[in-house]
Amino acid sequence: VREQPRLPDTPQPMSRPLKVTHGERVLDATSGVTKLDLVRYYAAVANRMLPHLQGRPCALLRAPEGVGGALFFQRHGGPGRAPELTELDPALWPGHAALLSVDHADALVAAAQWNAIEFHTWNAPARHMDRPDRMVFDLDPGEGTIWPQVQEGALLVRTLLEELRLACWLKTSGGKGLHVVVPIVPRWPHEVVKALSKAMVQHLARTLPSRFVARSGPANRVGRIFVDYLRNGHAATTVAAFSARARPGLGVSMPVAWDDLASLRSGAHWTVQTAREHLSFQSVDPWADYARTPQALDDAMAAMGLRP
Ligand code: ATP
Ligand code: MN
Ligand code: MN
């Protein structure tokens, strides 16, 4: 067992103070969490969250009136943008305005001041936009599914990945489901990674049709889990680890050890109100090896009958 340092549980110092406007505004009637609470949450988890954000195009879900009000999915800068956010080179996505990234604690907190609740990242970092460094399986429970089916579904996805000799990491979505993430060598374009994930999901749905469905759409999903591979397409995003969700209760997307899967009660097991306490008791980062484990896909593609 490798010795691991105790995790930092103190907030990363901000380089300058930030003025929070309307800090008293309640963002979520269910929990009573205010805008200032959310800003403080992001300041507190910045150390843990930033590795999942830095250098990666990021879309913000902004909710100026909180969870019950209008939500804006903001992928680009534009007037009024928090200046702490990085505007990436517009050439990275021809035909589109500059994408944003969140590269330091000031930017994370400024985004929250700018009414961002959720942070969604691309699968590829800006320095190699056409080569994703992760493959995501988004487990979406259909109507009529019970939570143990979602837990079992995640284990089955992991089993298939293990058969393909791919290690994977688990996080709650902060909403209804779970996300299984495979760090990969950035050698294949989005379409290839998407094709592999699609082949895997179709295989699961063929062999276990009572549990999985490979086609999107609520009617197809009743009582079953849709494993969403569409998160792997170009320009698709997935909510970042430690992001809050603009949903009642303000769940957060939390990295989880596979051994702790059985003890989860939902995809929103942790919230903005409970996440910090959980992290303060955690002595080992369940995702410590994630960034150190980029994996090649050649063998998995061959095993799934795809040409690398
Ligand atoms: P849950 O566990 O409840 O499914 P989730 O984050 O997985 O939570 P999904 O509905 O499965 O939610 O996934 C929605 C995906 O679509 C997210 O990954 C997000 O990045 C992306 N998305 C959400 N809203 C928009 C939008 N307005 N424009 C583009 N992409 C969006
Ligand atoms: Mn989902
Ligand atoms: Mn989905």
CB neighbours (10 Å) of residue 103? 18
Q: Quick check: 114 and 81 in contact, CB under 8 A?
A: yes
When pLDDT is averaged across residues 161-181 and rounded to a whole number, the result is 98
**Which of 136, 118, 135 lies closest to 253 in space, CA to CA?**
118
For residue 71, give the ligand 1 atom closest to its CA.
27
Query: What CA–CA distance (Å, rounded) separates 122 from 129?
Result: 9
The secondary structure of 75-115, three-state, reads: CECCCCCCCCCEECCHHHCCCCCCEEECCCHHHHHHHHHCC
pLDDT of 1 reads 37
CB neighbours (10 Å) of residue 285? 15
On the question of pLDDT at 107 being above 60, the answer is yes
Query: Residue 18: pLDDT band by 50, 70, 90 thresholds?
Result: confident
Q: Do domains 26-122+242-248 and 134-234+292-303 have the same CATH topology?
A: yes
**Which of 58, 171, 175, 172 lies closest to 110 in space, CA to CA?**
58
Query: Residue 13: pLDDT band by 50, 70, 90 thresholds?
Result: low
The residue contributing the CA closest to ligand 1 atom 15 is 238
Predicted confidence (pLDDT) per residue in 134-159, tens digit:
999 999 999 999 999 999 999 999 99
Any idea which architecture 134-234+292-303 has in CATH? Answer: Alpha-Beta Complex (3.90)
Q: Quick check: 187 and 296 in contact, CB under 8 A?
A: yes
Interface confidence (ipTM) of the complex: 0.92
User: Ligand 1 pocket test: which of 232, 237, 252, 254 has the largest number of ligand atoms within 8 Å of its C-beta?
Assistant: 237
- CATH number assigned to the domain covering 26-122+242-248: 3.90.920.10
For residue 238, give the ligand 1 atom closest to its CA.
18
On the question of pLDDT at 119 being above 90, the answer is yes
When pLDDT is averaged across residues 268-281 and rounded to a whole number, the result is 98
On the question of pLDDT at 8 being above 60, the answer is no
Site residues for ligand 1, CB cut-off 6 Å:
73, 120, 138, 140, 173, 175-177, 228, 231, 237-239, 267
More confident residue, 255 or 220: 255
DSSP lists the bridge partners of residue 126 as none
Predicted confidence (pLDDT) per residue in 24-82, tens digit:
999 999 999 999 999 999 999 999 999 999 999 999 999 999 999 999 999 998 888 88
Query: Residue 220: pLDDT band by 50, 70, 90 thresholds?
Result: confident
Domain range annotation of the chain: 26-122+242-248, 134-234+292-303
**Which of 61, 135, 71, 67 lies closest to 271 in space, CA to CA?**
67
Q: Left if phi > 0, otherwise alpha if psi is -120 to 50, otherwise beta: which for 3?
A: beta
Q: Quick check: 215 and 201 in contact, CB under 8 A?
A: no
pLDDT of 180 reads 99
The residue contributing the CA closest to ligand 1 atom 13 is 238
